[in-house]
Copies of this chain bind each other. A is one copy, B any other.
Amino acid sequence: MRVHPIAVPDPPLRSSYGLHAPYALRTIVEIESKGGAIGLAETHGAESTAEALRALAKEIAGADPYRLLGSLAAQNGDSPSTGGASIDRSQNYLVPGENPADLKARVTSAIEIACLDLIGKTVGRPVCDLLGRARDEVCFSAYAFYKHAGGGGQGVDTQRDEYGEARTPEGLVKQVQQLIAEHGFEDVKLKAGVLDPDIEIETIRQLREALGPNAPLRLDPNCAWSVETSVRVGKALQAELGNGGYLEDPTASLAGMAEVRRRLLEAGVNTPLASNVAVTSFADLPETIRTDAVQIVLCDPHYWGGIRQAQHLGKICDTFGLGLSMHSNTHLGVSLMAMAHAAACTPSLRYACDTHYPWQSAACEIVKGGRIKFDRGRIRIPDQPGLGVELDYDRLALGRERYTRCGYRKRDDAAEMRKRVDPNWQRTLPRW
């Protein structure tokens, strides 16, 4: 196993966590078989992830990838009866990838995905075929952000600002139109919780007007709102999110989400609530279902323990009448393909997946052949075995150099916000 921490130029995108730093950190994992086949995975960056992966090196050296699939699943002790507890709520509002409570699932995920890629490459099959392909194409959504001016990276890494500043409803509409023109997305997700809720409501209204009646719209303020504000926004946008749209994590905690849901239903608003903050592990599901706190769960093979755990989650959602969508972090092509394969073998996933992929530029891709292209917002599962991608080692080396050079060692959007926008900025929940 080889573990490569890399840094990727990232533009100044805003969320309720703060501001994206000029570099996003990722970790590339290679597991090489005796026969010379190489299984790949990409996961969260940060020193802690690379260390946790390296700590498993002894267990992986000489192991059989098929047997690792079994022992990894057993390590996903996140269900009540296997002794795993629900993830510590007090840590739950850290930026994604920085919660120590879900480190284990993030690490086992990466190893599972690399093993699946290795097995697929060895037997000559796409990963989704190993696990039961349900579709050939996977839909992704346009992920729109309030954004400061500037591209990703610093100094020699500075990227062209392809999308420009977007800090008004009009700016967001333009950004979304540009994302759609370039990639063909049919669904739109707006990262909210950044500006006053009335401005964000107005942004959704203008998006609806600009995009016509069919595009499903999602709004995700990452817990920035009180129950009161969540209900107010839910009512205001009742007619605007459209069929297939949803309100994601408007407020913090399952109890808060359940309260929002109850009050929206009382007001006759049936907009589903989605979550990847209140629900982050299997242990969260019983209460989620009992209290109707969430109607759509966002899986993410990087977080939930791997692609097969995402399949389990899909079956649970299907069984209990919940919808399933997919969460994304800043990522490159290996993760994009892992997400596409996970979606392709999870039949109950019927929402377009989130992806940050359009926010990275061609200069930083580390897969051979460069950036993977969306066709009408979709990724078609390639005929190549495994995940269908290989590493470009020159470009990987550039990513490692950037990591060494950039100085960032963990994600801290609040610190970045203080550094570049407001020296007194703190993440307070609820903000509105």
* A residues with CB within 8 A of B: 64, 66-67, 69-70, 72-74, 79-82, 122-123, 125, 128-134, 282-283, 285-286, 289, 308-309, 311-312, 315-321, 345, 347-348
Contact = CB atoms under 8 A, between A and B. Distances in A.
A138 to B, nearest CB: 14
A348 B73 contact: no
B70 A134 contact: yes
Contacts of A132: 69-70, 72-73, 308
A79 B80 CA distance: 23
Contacts of A319: 79-80, 282-283, 285-286, 316
Contacts of A73: 132, 134, 347
A128 B70 CA distance: 9
B315 A67 contact: no
A70 B134 CA distance: 5
Contacts of A82: 318, 347-348
A316 B318 contact: no
B347 A74 contact: yes
Task: Please give the count of copies of this chain that the complex contains.
Answer: 2
Contacts of A125: 66
Given A80-B318, A315-B316, 8 more contacts: A69-B131, A73-B132, A80-B319, A122-B123, A282-B315, A282-B319, A311-B312, A312-B316
Nearest to A135: B70
> By CB atoms of chain B within 10 A, which of A130, A289, A320 has the most?
A320
A320 B122 CA distance: 37
B318 A79 contact: yes
A270 to B, nearest CB: 16
Nearest to A316: B316
A373 B180 CA distance: 62
Contacts of A79: 315, 318-319, 348
Nearest to A130: B66
Contacts of A311: 312
A70 B129 contact: yes
Nearest to A122: B123
A255 to B, nearest CB: 19
Contacts of A80: 318-319, 321
A80 B321 CA distance: 6
Contact of A81 (B122, B130, B312, B318): B318
Nearest to A318: B79
B348 A81 contact: yes
The 3 closest A-B pairs by CB, nearest first: A70-B133, A312-B315, A66-B129
A132 to B, nearest CB: 4
A107 to B, nearest CB: 17
A125 to B, nearest CB: 6
Given A73-B347, A315-B316, A321 B81 contact: yes
A201 B329 CA distance: 59
A245 B109 CA distance: 36
A7 to B, nearest CB: 33
B347 A133 contact: no
A67 B133 contact: yes
Contacts of A316: 312, 315-316, 319
A320 B67 contact: no
> By CB atoms of chain B within 10 A, which of A69, A79, A286 has the most?
A79
Contacts of A321: 80-81, 286
A212 to B, nearest CB: 27
Nearest to A324: B81
B312 A345 contact: no
11 contacts: A67-B133, A69-B131, A72-B132, A79-B348, A80-B318, A80-B319, A282-B319, A286-B319, A286-B320, A315-B315, A316-B319
Contacts of A122: 123
A72 B128 CA distance: 14
Contacts of A347: 73-74, 82
Contact of A67 (B69, B74, B129, B317): B129
Contacts of A309: 315
